[in-house]
């Protein structure tokens, strides 16, 4: 991965501003499971979401203007109704193409501000 430079920092700021306008839980946000383990939202469905299948920042979240996409293993789906937002904003790793130049081996890693949600216990 390439090093974040001034131009990439401006790209990140513009994408962060667009992403911050998206309401509710988003792919890339952090999730605190009932066990206390922290994951990230990896996929959103109409009524459910799937967290990453393990902790760690080595996961691949590609940041584009109004969203993120995730490449990796997903855990079982959890109802969106089980989520409650926590007043915590954290930094989490993302990547995007250096200077918007889409080509192999041209990714740059950065830290984006993400929301934090808690999964409340659901009665089955």
Query: Does the structure show a pLDDT above 70 at 123?
Result: no
Q: Provide the pLDDT for residue 83.
A: 97
CB 119 within 8 A of CB 31: yes
Strands 107-119 and 30-32: parallel
Q: How confident is the model at residue 1 (pLDDT cuts 50, 70, 90)?
A: confident
Q: Provide the pLDDT for residue 122.
A: 67
Return the CA Rg of the chain: 15
Buried b (16+ CB within 10 A) or exposed e, 17-53: eebeeeeebbbbbbbbeeeeebbbbbebeeeebbbbe
Whole-prediction pTM: 0.91
What are 37-75's pLDDT values in tens digits?
Answer: 999 999 999 999 999 997 665 569 999 988 999 999 999
Rounded to the nearest 10°, the torsion over CA 115, 81, 70, 13 is -30
């Amino acid at each position: 991965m390439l090093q974040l430079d001034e131009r990439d920092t401006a790209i990140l700021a513009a994408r962060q501003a667009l992403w911050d306008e998206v309401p509710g839980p988003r792919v890339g946000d952090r999730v605190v499971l009932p066990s206390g383990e922290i994951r990230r939202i990896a996929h959103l469905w109409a009524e459910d979401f799937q967290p990453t299948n393990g902790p760690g920042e080595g996961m691949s979240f590609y940041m584009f203007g109004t969203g993120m996409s995730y490449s990796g293993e997903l855990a079982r789906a959890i109802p969106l109704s089980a989520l409650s937002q926590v007043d915590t904003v954290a930094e989490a790793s993302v990547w995007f193409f250096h200077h918007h130049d889409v080509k192999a081996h041209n990714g740059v890693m950065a830290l984006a501000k993400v929301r934090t949600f808690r999964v409340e216990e659901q009665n089955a």
